[in-house]
Amino acid sequence: MNNDKTEPDALDAYSAIVTSVAAQLTPRVAALTIRSRAGEAAGSAVVLTGESHLITNSHVVSGGDHGTAEFADGTVAGFAVVGRDPLSDIAVIRADREIPAPPDYGDADHLLVGSLVVAVGNPLGLAGTVTAGVVSALGRSMPARTRTAARLIEDVIQTDAALNPGNSGGALADSHGRIVGISTAVAGFGLGLAVPINATTHRIIHALMHDGRVRRAYLGLVTTPAPLNPGQAERFGQRTAMRIVEVVEDSPAARSGLKPADLVLAVDGAPLGSAQSLQKRLFSDAIGQQMEVTVLRNGALVDVIAVPAELSD
């Protein structure tokens, strides 16, 4: 009898969470129509500020600078693109009239595998669609590129909440209705990916709102994660580092003396265990500034001074 009662109670609690999040977010997620010379494209966007800004994916608005945003209450607003950053797949747009108030934004760094998440978007032209699932993996990476540069979008959230074309730019929320990600891609049957909302994303959003673009520093390294052996791990107090696979010719890294096969342990004294932890340091404030790179080369510690340049568009 207890088991029979527990199952409906659990389902009722799950349903209550999903319906509560849906009620909070559906009015705050817009269906976008983007006009360009190639025709019209569709996607989703989430209200970002009380000044009519919304956040969406860069690829959603890559074809044009203007469009319309339609909300669940029937409100239709024109919008213009404020700034877009293909290397994070984030864009900020601004509506030309008053729109619903923004939802609360959380921190994806606090998510756990198995955490309940709710996706709200406009897949296949169906406005206000809500799906629910769990975080199925964290720390995924997804390639992004422009005509001249490529990088990994860091700490991507993988979820089994159903995502379909048109969900891109929509909300991924936690059980409290806080936005923790912006849905960006369908990774395969039953899998979706979302760009996380965290400190790095807020930095990108700030740059887009104030400058219309994100300035990044450039070293010219191709690296891959490499485990340290037990002795090295004990000696340096970390289990992983980044092995240099390639140094781009005539890049800041090449001029500094960094070499393929070097094992990068730290930058400016901070341990480096992933490509993401290096990318987080390569924003505008690093351009032209000396950066101390500590590497393990043929068993010896070597400190190299590199001066990042600005990454061209």
pLDDT given for residue 100 in this prediction: 95
pLDDT given for residue 114 in this prediction: 94
CA distances from 107 to 7, 197, 252 (A): 31, 6, 33
167 φ/ψ angles, rounded to the nearest 5 degrees: -70, -25
Report the C-alpha gap between 76 and 47 in whole angstroms: 14
Q: Find, among 74, 73, 75, 93, the residue nearest to 83 by Cα.
A: 93
pLDDT given for residue 152 in this prediction: 67
39-53: pLDDT as tens digits = 788 899 999 999 999
Residue 116 contacts residue 245 (beta carbons within 8 Å): no
Kindly report the pTM of this predicted structure: 0.82
pLDDT given for residue 3 in this prediction: 57
Look up tokens 């950053």; give the residue.
85
pLDDT given for residue 267 in this prediction: 92
Look up tokens 């340049």; give the residue.
309
Q: Which residues contact 77 (CB under 8 A, 6 or more apart)?
A: 30, 52, 68, 69, 70, 71, 95, 96, 97, 99
Cβ of 303: how many Cβ atoms within 10 Å? Answer: 9
Sequence-ordered strand ranges (E) for 189-290: 191-196, 217-218, 221-227, 240-247, 263-267, 270-271
In 190-227, which positions are buried (b, 16+ CB within 10 angstroms) versus exposed (e)?
Answer: ebbbbbbbbebbebbbebbbeeeebebbbbbbebeeee
How many H helices and E strands in the chain?
5, 20
Look up tokens 């490509």; give the residue.
275
Instruction: Look up residue 197 and give its two tokens.
Output: 């909302």
If you write DSSP's letter for every residue of 249-277 in order, what string do you get?
A: TTSHHHHHT--TT-EEEEETTEE--SHHH
Report the C-alpha gap between 209 and 56 in whole angstroms: 13
pLDDT given for residue 123 in this prediction: 66
Task: Pinpoint the alpha helices (H) of 87-173.
Answer: none
pLDDT given for residue 83 in this prediction: 96
Residue 97 contacts residue 107 (beta carbons within 8 Å): no
pLDDT given for residue 39 in this prediction: 75
pLDDT values of the chain reduced to their tens digit, one per residue, 313 residues: 455 555 667 668 889 999 999 999 999 999 999 987 777 888 999 999 999 999 999 999 988 899 999 998 889 999 999 999 988 999 999 999 999 999 999 999 899 999 999 999 886 666 678 999 999 998 777 777 766 666 667 778 999 887 877 789 999 999 999 999 999 877 666 688 999 999 889 999 999 999 999 998 989 888 888 889 999 889 988 888 888 988 988 999 999 999 999 999 999 988 886 656 787 888 888 999 999 999 999 989 999 999 999 987 6
Active site residues: 59, 89, 168
Residue 78 contacts residue 66 (beta carbons within 8 Å): yes
